[in-house]
Amino acid sequence: MAPQQDSVYGTDGFGTKAIHVGQEPERWDMNQVVPCISLSTTYKQERPGEPKGHDYSRAGNPTRDVLQENIAALENGQFCRVYSSGLAASMSLANILKTGDHIVCSDDVYGGLLLV
């Protein structure tokens, strides 16, 4: 996902960002005002291993892209990642940690993470 740039939404309130950021009609083939929910599991490729954008829905899809961009804007961040499960989120975090690193979190997280 590209970093958030200053946009017309930069000084707008939370509600305005929530209903507009990442959902601009110009992003979609048919200029839909409300983005479609992507139900596709696989995407066309010109050649094997050369997807234009997405290749498999579990790795990412247009619906997830919109959600990530929107949450990043609402939190005044540049990036956001969403996952389909607590295990997926925990493993992504664990894979970037090095020996001696620590995780600070609430006790309301995926239960398996508390056992690590």
Domain locations in the chain?
1-82, 83-116
Q: What is the pLDDT along the chain (116 residues), one digit of tens a residue?
A: 454 445 555 678 888 888 888 888 887 777 777 777 888 788 888 888 887 888 888 778 888 999 999 999 999 999 999 988 888 888 888 899 999 998 888 878 877 777 76
CA distance 84 to 59: 10
pLDDT for res 10: 61
CA distance 103 to 95: 12
Q: What is the pTM of this model?
A: 0.68
90: three-class secondary structure by DSSP: helix
